[in-house]
Amino acid sequence: MVLCAALAAGASAAPPALDWTRFSVLTPAGRAEPDLALLRGLSPLVYAPHTFARGEGSAGAVAKACGTTVESLQATNGDELFLISPGAKITVQNKAGLLYRVKGEGEALDDIIRRYRRSKEEFDALKRSVIEANGLPGLALLEPYEFQQGDVVLLPGIRMDFDTYRFPFAQAGWHRISSGFSRNRMHPILHYRRAHEGLDLPKPYGTPVYPARSGRVTMSGWHEGYGQMVEIRHTDGWSTRYGHLSKISVKEGQWVQRGKTLLGRVGNSGLSTGPHLHFEVRDRNGRPINPRSKIGRR
């Protein structure tokens, strides 16, 4: 009886206070993003977020570091990745192809593949490669296979064609601007303020000039203060102009390809103070738009 009473009294007594500081452990936070070299060394498909650091370089360097291609990163991120600013965030992967994110519950493998390959031969080839690359069961070749919302599927060999603006020279990347887009610039020759409706890109006399986007030549020849000028109308109705050329290599009505067709060469024709290219972007209503805002975009 005494023992039972003692047990009962102990059960009803309040437990001793715990010193919770004994149980807390301070640990450093892990990496928010993996080292790209770790992705390259892994055999299975791995993807991760990546934030561009200052001075990191180009998308090509990032693609090489994680074991994929620039075209794959472009397709996965839906971006040409032509101009990259510090702090820009993308998804990187260690395999070549497009990472497709399943948007709806029960989306079928065949429906996904049909978006990118129409002919039977291409359809079957992509289906086999998707099954192998993603480790899907072999029965997916014979029976309907459905994904869950949020699944990520690698589509090997899929690239995206980016109809975006680039600088009109052979070398990729950013180019020096001697005079920017302005609504109220002091003209260096006329000596009064007027709009400067494009960018002045200083280059040595005779530097080759290429289309910033594909399209059809709508003007080719002398045009007022532009001097020797080429205008290209693009498929969406926008246009680009290339002024002060020393030589023109295309004719009106000619279709030209982005970065491939030689338009002419840098010169000093028209109202110009030295060899440079005057480059403009205009919307479908003919209004000038700052080209800086369009480079790498459509």
In this structure, what token pair is assigned to residue 2? 């005494």
* Interacting residues of 8 by C-beta distance below 8 A, sequence separation 6+: none
Distance separating alpha carbons of residues 106 and 119, to the nearest angstrom:
24
Reported confidence tier of residue 63, pLDDT bands at 50, 70, 90: very high
Q: Where are the beta strands (DSSP E) in the chain?
A: 47-51, 89-93, 98-101, 107-108, 146-147, 152-155, 182-186, 193-196, 199-202, 208-209, 215-222, 228-233, 239-248, 255-256, 264-266, 276-282, 288-289
Rounded mean pLDDT, 184-210: 82
Contact call for residues 245 and 269 (beta carbons, < 8 A): yes
User: How high is the pLDDT of residue 5?
Assistant: 40
Sign of CA dihedral 171, 73, 133, 130: negative
pLDDT at position 9, please?
A: 43
* Residue range 71-94, pLDDT digits in tens: 999 999 988 787 677 898 999 999
Distance CA 265, CA 224 (A): 18
Q: What is the per-residue pLDDT for 54?
A: 87
Phi, psi angle pair for 165, to nearest 5°: -80, 145
Percent of the chain with pLDDT over 70: 85
Please state which of the ranges 50-54, 67-71, 74-78, 158-162 shows the lowest mean pLDDT.
Answer: 158-162
The tokens for 7 are 């047990």
Q: Of the given ranges (40-44, 121-125, 170-174, 198-202), which has the lowest mean pLDDT?
A: 170-174
Looking at residue 140, the DSSP 8-state letter turns out to be: G
CA dihedral 200, 201, 202, 207 (to 10 degrees): -130
Which one of 3.90.380, 2.40.128, 3.10.350, 1.10.3470 gives the CATH number of domain 36-93?
3.10.350
Q: Are the beta carbons of 268 and 261 closer than 8 angstroms? A: no
Q: How confident is the model at residue 29 (pLDDT cuts 50, 70, 90)?
A: low
**Tokens linked to 211:** 């289309």
What are the tens digits of pLDDT across the range 93-130?
999 999 999 988 889 999 999 999 989 999 999 999 99
- % of residues, the chain, pLDDT over 90: 64
pLDDT at 8 (0 to 100): 41
pLDDT of the residue at 15:
56
Note the pLDDT of residue 7.
Answer: 38
Q: What is the pLDDT of residue 109?
A: 96
pLDDT category of residue 296 using cuts at 50, 70 and 90: confident
- The domain locations on the chain are 36-93, 98-155, 182-293
Instruction: Report how far residue 196's alpha carbon sits from residue 273's, in angstroms, rounded to the nearest whole number.
Output: 14
In sequence order, which residues have a C-beta less than 8 Å from that of residue 163 and are 6 or more positions away?
A: 213, 214, 234, 235, 258, 298
pLDDT higher than 90, residue 6: no
Residue 267 has pLDDT above 80, yes or no: yes
Average pLDDT, whole number, for the chain? 87
Q: Can you give the pLDDT at residue 18?
A: 54
| Whole-angstrom distance, CA of residue 287 vs CA of residue 141 | 53
Q: How far apart are CA 205 and CA 275, in angstroms?
A: 5
Statement: 182-293 belongs to CATH 2.70.70.10: yes
Q: Which residues, at least 6 apart from 173, have a Cβ–Cβ distance to it below 8 Å? A: 58, 167
Query: Of the segments 69-78, 159-168, 279-288, which one has the largest average pLDDT value?
Result: 279-288
What pLDDT does 190 receive? Answer: 58
Q: Are 270 and 244 in contact (CB under 8 A)?
A: yes
29-33, 154-158, 169-173, 287-291, range with the lowest pLDDT: 29-33
**Structure tokens belonging to residue 291:** 């080209």
Mean pLDDT for the stretch of residues 154-179: 89
In the predicted model, is pLDDT for residue 188 greater than 80?
A: no
